[in-house]
Amino acid sequence: MLPEVRRRAILSHLAQVGSDTIISMSERFHVSTMTVRRDLKILQEAGAVSMSHGGAIFSGDSFQRNETHQLERAILRAAEKRAIGRYAAANFVEDNDVLFLDSGTTVRAIVPFLQGKRNLTIASNSIRTIDALFRYLPDSTILCTGGLLSSTAQTYVGPVAERFFDDFFARKAFVSGVGFTLTAGLADSQMLDTAVKKSMIRSAEATVVVIDSSKIGYPAMAQVLGTQDVQTLVTDDGIAEPARRAILDSGIDLQVAPVDSPD
């Protein structure tokens, strides 16, 4: 069973039963306990489960049991997103930074690797990102926008969320999307969320685009950032060589994060 398929199966199983032991899941899915622990750690980073001593508990409510699209997005290409998150945290975040994080799952993958950074101030419009920040960085200053709650994505959108970022200034904004092309730039499929991303970008000194390589070359409906305005783009080492050369030739600072393992 492919790792991503197995993680979906584990998530579905925990959504149905509420909790289970690592040994039991190891037997159910015919893999080692070490593999189950690795999968559960990825699911925990996505906000899908909470690991306990010897097992895991499903973190969602009854609504989330039926609406797992956002959680599945975090599971897909998890190794690539984790590599991008690790690289972005190590190379673009410093002690005392003020950061804006958008609602994307690739941006959320940065959060676990911010542990050890001191005196961070971080703002986001995503409930799931805020939850991850509280779990991994309980001593940091964490700000949430408020606004109209998009229940499926669990993000705050609309005028209140957009105005929030007009009143603050960040050294860096980390943003993502569902596609990037040299013609259209960074784009997303949710117009209301796109408007919030644009507010973040306007109020940040620098913007770092983080996007996994499977989305490069694919356009989406709503532009977040034009190609000419993309300063730095971080992706994984699965990027095709022609795309790599084209992005570098466009003048974008392309940074490629190595993926340690396909699992």
For 29-42, how does the pLDDT look when each residue is reduced to its tens digit (9 = 90+)?
Answer: 999 999 999 999 88
Could you give the CA distance from residue 183 to residue 50 in angstroms, rounded to a whole number?
A: 41
Whether the domain at 3-75 and the domain at 78-257 fall into the same CATH topology: no
- Mean pLDDT (whole number) for 10-31: 90
Domain boundaries, given as residue ranges, for the chain: 3-75, 78-257
Q: What is the pLDDT of residues 186-212, one digit of tens each?
A: 999 888 999 999 999 999 999 999 999
- Tokens matching residue 4: 């991503």
Residue 261's pLDDT is: 53
Q: Indicate the pTM of the whole model.
A: 0.77
Q: CATH classification of 3-75, choosing from 2.30.29.30, 1.10.10.10, 1.10.3470.10, 1.10.510.10?
A: 1.10.10.10
Helical axes 33-45 vs 22-29, angle rounded to 10°:
110
- Tokens matching residue 199: 């507010």
**What mean pLDDT, rounded, does the chain reach?**
89
Which burial class, exposed, middle or buried, applies to 12 when counting CB atoms under 10 A from its CB (0-12, 13-18, 19+)? middle
The domain 78-257: what is its CATH number? 3.40.50.1360
At residue 88 the predicted structure's pLDDT band, cuts being 50, 70 and 90, is very high
Measured between alpha carbons, how far is residue 93 from residues 177, 186, 196 in Å?
Answer: 20, 22, 22
Q: What is the pLDDT of residues 38-66, one digit of tens each?
A: 999 888 876 678 898 899 998 765 434 44
Q: Quick check: 72 and 4 in contact, CB under 8 A?
A: no
Q: What is the pLDDT of residues 120-148, one digit of tens each?
A: 999 999 998 999 999 999 999 999 999 99
Measured between alpha carbons, how far is residue 146 from residues 131, 157, 246 in Å?
Answer: 14, 8, 39
Q: % helix / strand / coil in the chain, to the nearest 5?
A: 45, 25, 30
CA nearest to 140, candidates 164, 173, 116? 116
